[in-house]
Amino acid sequence: MEAVTKYSETELVMLLKQRQQTAFSYLYENYSGALYGIILNIISDNELANDVLQEVFVKVWRQISTYDETKGRLYTWILNIARNASIDTLRSKGFQNNKQNRELTENVYESAGSTQMQVDKIGLRKIVHQLKEEHKVLIELSYFQGFTQEEISKMLDLPLGTVKTRLRTALIQLRQFIK
C-alpha cells in the first residue's frame, strides 16, 4: 500500500515554486474537484469545463512564482484564476460563435416546437404584435431568437443605447398590456 503524502499549504507552495512534479500532482488531486465544480457553475458545458480546468492548472504551473502568500491563501488564488478563465471563455469570440453555430439535434427541434406552442398558448406573440413595429422587432430578436443587445445593434445598424432604450420601453408596454 502506497503512503499518502500530505503537504501544508506553505510546503506545497514552496515545492510548486521549485517545480516539483509530485507537488503539482498533489495539487491537482486535492483541488481539481472543487475547481471543476466552480468552473461548471459558470460554463455549464462538461467538455468545455474540462478544457478550462486544464487551462487553469497550466496557468498555475506557469504563474506559481507570482503567488504571494501574504495576499491570500493558495486556494483563493487558484479559485480566482479558475473564475477568470471561465469568464474569459464565456466572453471569447470562439465560444460565442460556437454557441450560435452548434448543430441542433431532433430533440432540440421538438423542444423548440413545444416552447413555441406554449408561447402561442399564453398569447404572448399576440401581445407582442400590439407593439409598435420598432419595438416588436427588438422583442422578437432579443427574446424569441436570443440575440444580445450588441448583436441587435449591429444587425439593425442602431446605436446600442437606442436598442436598450427601445427594449426597455417595449417591456414596459408589454407589462401594461398583460395587466
Q: Which long-range contacts (CB under 8 A, 24 or more apart) does 40-44 make?
A: 42/83, 42/86, 42/87, 42/90, 43/86, 43/89, 43/90
Q: What is the pLDDT of residue 58?
A: 93
CATH 1.10.1740.10 intervals, the chain: 9-98
Is residue 120 over pLDDT 90?
no
Question: Which CATH number, 3.40.50.720, 3.40.50.10420, 3.60.21.10, 1.10.10.10, labels domain 106-178?
Answer: 1.10.10.10
Q: Please tell me which of 16-20, 94-98, 154-158 the model is most confident about, judged by mean pLDDT.
A: 16-20
Q: How does pLDDT run across 24-59, given as a tens digit for each residue?
A: 999 999 888 888 988 888 887 889 999 999 999 999
CATH 1.10.10.10 intervals, the chain: 106-178
Domain 9-98 fold is Rna Polymerase Sigma Factor; Chain: A (1.10.1740)
Question: Pick the residue with more confidence: 148 or 115?
Answer: 148
Q: Please tell me which of 1-5, 79-83, 91-95 the model is most confident about, judged by mean pLDDT.
A: 79-83
C-alpha to C-alpha distance for 57 and 96, rounded to whole angstroms? 24
Q: What is the pLDDT of residue 2?
A: 52
C-alpha to C-alpha distance for 72 and 104, rounded to whole angstroms? 44
Does the global pTM surpass 0.85?
no
Q: What is the pLDDT of residue 128?
A: 77
Q: Cell 471543476, residue?
A: 36
In degrees and rounded to multiples of 5, residue 84 shows phi and psi of: -65, -40
Longest dimension (CA), the chain: 74
Q: What is the mean pLDDT of residues 11-24?
A: 91
Q: How does pLDDT run across 95-115, given as a tens digit for each residue?
A: 556 555 555 554 444 444 444
Q: What is the pLDDT of residue 102?
A: 53
